Amino acid sequence: MKTEMRLTGSGGQGLIMAGIIFAEAALLDGNNSIQSQSYGPEARGGASKAEVIISQEEIDFPKVEVPDLLLTLTQVAADKYGKDIAENGTIIADETVDLKAADPSVTIYRTPILKTASEVIGKAIVANIVAIGFITELTGIVSKENIENAIMNRIPKGTEELNKNALYEGYRLAQEIK
């Protein structure tokens, strides 16, 4: 079992941190993982991406080629990365993003990640944590115990409650659509 995940949106949405948190949770689960981000000409266009591979086996090639799971938080990122998705893959898009899958085997979920962060939690900056909760509940790609441990290892002291609430709101959004 190997899952390739691409997290896309705009710079400042904390997607690199989200990738690091997933990779560390996978390690705590006893799996192997690689987290990476590439910067090249395409990174100059306002879309940001971070990638994670999680596998029970050793990982040979560390770069995501066609993701099984794509998160896209902005229209710019969706337009840029939205078509690269594996057969039977899953796309998770913020509700503000307009997106169609070319391949009917792909499942798209649209959900209010950004709005939940800014209105329910009151801090737009935790959109990445809401997204982590949504992905974790929907896919089970990492355990809830270890995603929470990995988040607690990475966030600034004093923001534990805020981030836990954001994670739980992400779980809740996924429970509603499952």
Interface residues with a second copy (CB under 8 A) are 16, 20, 23-24, 26-27, 32-41, 43-44, 58-59, 61-63, 156
In three-state secondary structure terms, 77 is helix
Give 26 or 92: the residue with its C-beta nearer to a second copy. Answer: 26
Instruction: Spell out the residues 6+ positions from residue 95 whose beta carbon is closer than 8 angstroms to its own.
Output: 110, 111, 112, 113, 115
Give 56 or 175: the residue with its C-beta nearer to a second copy. Answer: 56
CB of 125 to a second copy, least distance (A): 12
Q: Measured between alpha carbons, how far is 139 from 63 in angstroms, rounded to an integer? A: 21
Give 14 or 82: the residue with its C-beta nearer to a second copy. Answer: 14
CB of 58 to a second copy, least distance (A): 7
**Across the chain, which distance is largest between two alpha carbons, in Å?**
45
CB of 93 to a second copy, least distance (A): 25
CB atoms within 10 A of CB 68: 20
Give 29 or 169: the residue with its C-beta nearer to a second copy. Answer: 29
Task: Spell out the long-range contacts of 149-156 with Cβ–Cβ below 8 A and sequence spacing 24 or more.
Answer: 149/25, 149/28, 150/21, 150/22, 150/24, 150/25, 150/28, 151/21, 153/24, 154/17, 154/20, 154/21, 154/24
CB of 109 to a second copy, least distance (A): 27
Give 96 or 149: the residue with its C-beta nearer to a second copy. Answer: 149
CB of 39 to a second copy, least distance (A): 4
